[in-house]
Amino acid sequence: MLLFTFRFPWNTMVESKLDYDLLTDTTMTMAIVFSVGALILAFAVAQMISNKPDKSDFKSRKTTFFAIGIIIILAFVAYNYFYVSKFIDKAMFSLQFSSLTAFSYLYQMILLMIAIYFISGFVLSKVLKNNKFGTIFP
């Protein structure tokens, strides 16, 4: 029984509904991996910012956290728009990866990435109150 199969866009053109479903599963998985990787990167960068007596390090940690989150989401949107959608033959399927309509998979992936990155970052910040990462959301 096939539970999950990766469908990378550089393998073949997406021509059928099965190919499209496999591509959406793969792209959703990549959205989760990118979000978790960005959260790990934000945690590492927050640990590298040194403490300052005037408390300006709090602002730089918060700015860095939000900048990494926005950059990773924009990079993922650009990846879907410029790369993934070019491997889809049917226009109906291609628009799901390149437009921001209310029911497109790109919109759902952005919401998923926001939920994973920002909400998990908030929870992690509250759990690690005595850590440098805990100063992002005081």
Do the domain assignments include residue 100? yes
Q: Are 55 and 132 in contact (CB under 8 A)?
A: no
Do the domain assignments include residue 110? yes
Mean pLDDT per segment of 10 residues, for the chain of length 138 residues?
51 69 81 93 91 81 94 89 74 65 76 93 92 86
Q: Tell me what pLDDT residue 91 has.
A: 63
- How many CB atoms are located within 10 Å of the residue 58 CB? 16
Do the domain assignments include residue 93? yes
Do the domain assignments include residue 2? no
Do the domain assignments include residue 14? no
Global confidence as pTM:
0.79
Do the domain assignments include residue 20? no
Based on the structure, what is the number of domains in the chain? 1
Structural domain span for residue 75: 34-44+57-135
Q: Tell me what pLDDT residue 93 has.
A: 67
Do the domain assignments include residue 107? yes
Q: Tell me what pLDDT residue 69 has.
A: 94
